[in-house]
Structure formats: C-alpha cells, structure tokens
Structure 1
Amino acid sequence: MEPFLLVFNTCPDEDTARRIARTLVEQRLAACVNILPGLSSIYAWKGDIEEGEECLLLIKTREEAYGALEKTLQSLHPYELPEIVAVPIAKGLPPYLQWIQESTSP
C-alpha cells in the first residue's frame, strides 16, 4: 500500500464544508471527510488579528491523490487563501488503510 495523508482544511460554514466534502468523495479524491462545526479560529491576516467560527474538515486520502485534491479544494473554496495542510498517516488499522486505498483509486 502507498502512503496516506490526513489533510486539514477550514471552511466558513457547514454548507460550504458539506459541498466541498461531497465533491472530494464523489471525485474519489478522498475516502472520507469528517466535518467538525463550531471551530473557533484566531489568526493573523493582512496586518490584523481576526477571529471567527469555522468548520474543520479532516480529509483522508492517498499521497498520490494529493495534487488533484489540493487543486480541486482550491477551486471550490471561497477563501482567498484556504488552509490546506497535510500530514502523513504513520500508522493505521490495515483494513481501514486498504479501504482508503480502494476508495480513492481510479
């Protein structure tokens, strides 16, 4: 099996999060996307300190699919500079990782 990633992304609201999540799964770029609403974010932006409510997406995918996932996520996202960060999945239940593989393979 190839390497897998957990991709983090924040969205301004649950409707946007659901639309993005569904598209990523439908296009087989993600096996699963968890949506965690009610996230409070504080961040520096254009010289100011901003604060807002967001939804966090936890996206499970293959490393090989990351480029297409990033491009699709950017095209769907309303933010000027969306948070798109990925971390490798070091370990996981083998049948679950196999499911990610099967769900995101062409």
Structure 2
Amino acid sequence: MSRSESPQDVSVVLVTAPDDAVAARIARALVDERLAACVSLVPGVRSVYRWEGAVEDATEVLLIAKTAAARVEALARRVSEIHPYDLPETLALPASGGSDAYLAWVRAESTNR
C-alpha cells in the first residue's frame, strides 16, 4: 500500500432489502455500475425498528458492499433510486485494515474507468 493509500480509502456499506430478488437486483446494479467491487448478500437478517410510530419486526436481506470511500455518496444515491423502501438503510463504515491486495482490488474495481 502506498503512503497515499490507507485502509480508510475503502468503505463497507450496509444496506438492507426486503427479499432476495430486490437484494440481488441492487447488488448487481452496484457492481455493474462500478459503485462497489463486491456485494455480499446475507439472507435471514431480522430487523426490529420503529417506523411511522410503530415498532416493526421484519426479516430482511443484508447487503455488505465493499467500495472505494470516494464512491460512497454515489452508491447511496443509486441505492435510493432503485430501492423500494421510502428510507433505505445505507450505512458506511471505514475499513480500519485488511489485506493490502484486497483493498487495492476494491479501490480498482469501484472506480470509474
């Protein structure tokens, strides 16, 4: 890793989706459009949250997107365009470490060409 690059140049973005089909569609769009290098789908996540005054309890699919930190805003914007929820979850976390080769791959694959 060069001095100009750090693990913080990579972010992990969490997104939830209502089902496998929606999750797969979002994941494919993010990778196809180079907004994420990789999106892992974790089915069967149970989310409990308050929405419009009521406590909801839902089974969702968790998407874990790995992307260049510079692409987080565009990724979140794209998720909001194609997601069926009124307020989709997009929560970005900076990478604090990882394999230099993997981090370089994430940067390369989630950058405009």
TM-score range (shorter-chain normalised) is: over 0.9
Residues matched between the structures, number = 106
The offset of 1:66, in angstroms, is 1.0
**TM-score (norm. length: structure 2):** 0.91
| Correspondent of 2:75 among 69, 74, 77 | 69
Partner of 1:16: 22
Deviations 1:5-40 (A, max 9, x none): 000000000000000000000000000000000111
Residue pairs, 1:75-94, within 5 angstroms: 75-94=81-100
What percent identity do the matched residue pairs reach? 41
Partner of 1:47: 53
SS at match of 1:90: coil
Unaligned residue ranges in structure 1 (runs of 5+): none
2:25 counterpart of 1:28: no
The offset of 1:105, in angstroms, is 1.6
SS at match of 2:42: strand
RMSD of the alignment, in Å?
0.8
**TM-score (norm. length: structure 1):** 0.97
2:65 counterpart of 1:59: yes
Quote the Cα distance in structure 2 between the aligned partners of 1:13 and 1:53.
Answer: 8
